Amino acid sequence: MAAPPRTASPTLPTLPGRYYHEPAIYAAEQERIFSRAWVCAGHTSQVAAPGDFRTVDVGDENVLIVRGRDGELRAFLNVCRHRGARLCPAAGHAGGALRCRYHAWSYDLDGRLIGVPNMAGTDFDRSAFGLIPVYLAVWHGLIFVNVDEEEPESLARLAHAELLQRFGEAETLARYHLADLRIASTIEYDVRGNWKLAVENFMECYHCGPMHPELCVLLPGFRGGAAYQQGVGTTLAEGVEAFTLTGKASRPPLPDITADDARRYYGLVLLPNVFLNLLPDHAVLHTLWPQGPDRTRIVCDWLFHPDAIARPDFDPRDAVELFDIVNRQDWEVCELAQASMRSRAYRAGGVFVPLEAHIRRFNEYVLDKLGHANI
């Protein structure tokens, strides 16, 4: 009997192994992706009151995000203009001014240099030594900063385009009122893997059957490897009330979501460093912080409605436990993949099967930003 005719290969190539371990490629990504893109720096509630601040590392810069007396969020390079000391620690409350520990120069919360000891009677021009501003935008309660010196493309426009492409309709996200939610739990993970492995892993569900038994009980559609459908989400199993280990709900659904939303999980990626997960009664925000070619700090925040948090019996553990298990399963396989990136077996890379084909678009995004030929 004649063999059936061969068809074109249904697979697509991944990036070659060197993209996941070479310092020069990592440095280029830091310069051409993280130092030019809008990078998510947390939730507005983490810098809620005037004088509250937090800092994040973006590319080569440490960025200070501070809420002014006028209620506005602003971002600056966290560098004292005198002799360059790092101005503020990781997070805290500054009171009325930002004061450098070294020689006590002080800056208003809006970045103006207001205090310079022992310089009275000189013609030193303080106005030339304010903090260097960084572009900041707030989108659905999430803070984004962009350390590019050139004015970047509008975040709203980019995010909208991204949403339409990967999420179906921006209105879906709006119904979750992310800005109104509050973080009730945070876990930081130190993952021995390149940041792109975490993105690629989040974008596919081919691994869900073998790796996430608990998740597949709640979302049986994931067992077959289908990634969430654009704009449709993935439906909870019959009899499952909520995205918890027991499948039981211990909080009401978020106030404005539809009955349909209350039966679904939506996941979305905002490149380069955000995974956003929408569940019936909470949201889970992952932010990725590359630490080196083979290491990524991943911060996972669980957000709930303030009314739910205010209840005396509020306990987020049923939600946290579930996604913490899923996270650890994910990071484990990212680390397994990272372990082989230097092998000659992966020098030319691997393949994406059809269920993973959409990840190739992420690889093309990286290649495009790096100015590398599409390989």
Q: Which of 269, 223, 207, 262 is nearest to 240 (CA)?
A: 262
Dist. CA 362–CA 368, nearest whole Å: 10
Q: Which stretch binds ligand FES (CB under 6 A): 48-56, 78-86, 132-140, 242-250?
A: 78-86
Q: In the chain, how long is the greatest CA-to-CA distance?
A: 99
Q: How far is the CB of 104 from ligand FES (least distance, A)?
A: 6
Q: How far is the CB of 253 from Fe ion (least distance, A)?
A: 24
Going by the DSSP 8-state scheme, the letter that residue 246 receives in this structure is S
Instruction: Work out what residue 330 binds among Fe ion, ligand FES, none; the CB cut-off runs from 5 to 8 Å by kind.
Output: Fe ion
Q: Which stretch binds ligand FES (CB under 6 A): 39-47, 81-89, 232-240, 363-371?
A: 81-89
Q: Is 190 helix (H, G, I), strand (E, B) or coil?
A: strand
Q: Which is nearer to ligand FES, 80 or 178 (CB)?
A: 80
Distance of CA 163 to the CA centre of its chain: 15
Q: Which is nearer to ligand FES, 105 or 346 (CB)?
A: 105
114 is a contact residue toward ligand FES (CB under 6 A): no
Q: How far is the CB of 132 from ligand FES (least distance, A)?
A: 14
132 is a contact residue toward ligand FES (CB under 6 A): no
Of the candidate residues 37, 88, 100, 178, the single one contacting ligand FES (CB under 6 A): 100
The single-letter code of the amino acid at 251 is R
107 is a contact residue toward ligand FES (CB under 6 A): no
Under 8 Å between Cβ of 367 and 375: yes
248 is a contact residue toward ligand FES (CB under 6 A): no
Strands (E), 179-239: 182-191, 234-235
Rg for the chain (alpha carbons), in Å?
A: 23
Q: How far is the CB of 95 from ligand FES (least distance, A)?
A: 17
Of the candidate residues 76, 105, 202, 265, the single one contacting ligand FES (CB under 6 A): 105
Q: Which is nearer to ligand FES, 85 or 249 (CB)?
A: 85
Of the candidate residues 69, 93, 103, 361, the single one contacting ligand FES (CB under 6 A): 103
124 is a contact residue toward ligand FES (CB under 6 A): no
283 is a contact residue toward ligand FES (CB under 6 A): no
99 is a contact residue toward ligand FES (CB under 6 A): no
Burial environment of residue 68 by CB neighbours within 10 A (0 to 12, 13 to 18, 19 or more)? middle
- Backbone phi, psi, residue 229, to 5°: -85, 145
Number of CB atoms found within 10 A of residue 374's CB: 9
85 is a contact residue toward ligand FES (CB under 6 A): yes
Burial environment of residue 225 by CB neighbours within 10 A (0 to 12, 13 to 18, 19 or more)? middle
Burial environment of residue 124 by CB neighbours within 10 A (0 to 12, 13 to 18, 19 or more)? exposed
Q: How far is the CB of 55 from ligand FES (least distance, A)?
A: 16
**Which positions touch Fe ion (CB under 5 A)?**
330
Q: Which is nearer to ligand FES, 129 or 135 (CB)?
A: 129
Instruction: Work out what residue 223 binds among ligand FES, Fe ion, none; the CB cut-off runs from 5 to 8 Å by kind.
Output: none
Dist. CA 367–CA 15, nearest whole Å: 9
82 is a contact residue toward ligand FES (CB under 6 A): yes
Of the candidate residues 80, 245, 337, 359, the single one contacting ligand FES (CB under 6 A): 80
Instruction: Work out what residue 100 binds among Fe ion, ligand FES, none; the CB cut-off runs from 5 to 8 Å by kind.
Output: ligand FES
Dist. CA 49–CA 73, nearest whole Å: 10
Dist. CA 50–CA 73, nearest whole Å: 9
Burial environment of residue 318 by CB neighbours within 10 A (0 to 12, 13 to 18, 19 or more)? middle
Q: Which is nearer to ligand FES, 115 or 252 (CB)?
A: 115
Q: Which is nearer to ligand FES, 31 or 110 (CB)?
A: 110
| Sequence-separated (6 or more) residues with CB below 8 Å from residue 119 | none
Residues that bind ligand FES (CB under 6 A): 80, 82-83, 85, 100, 102-105
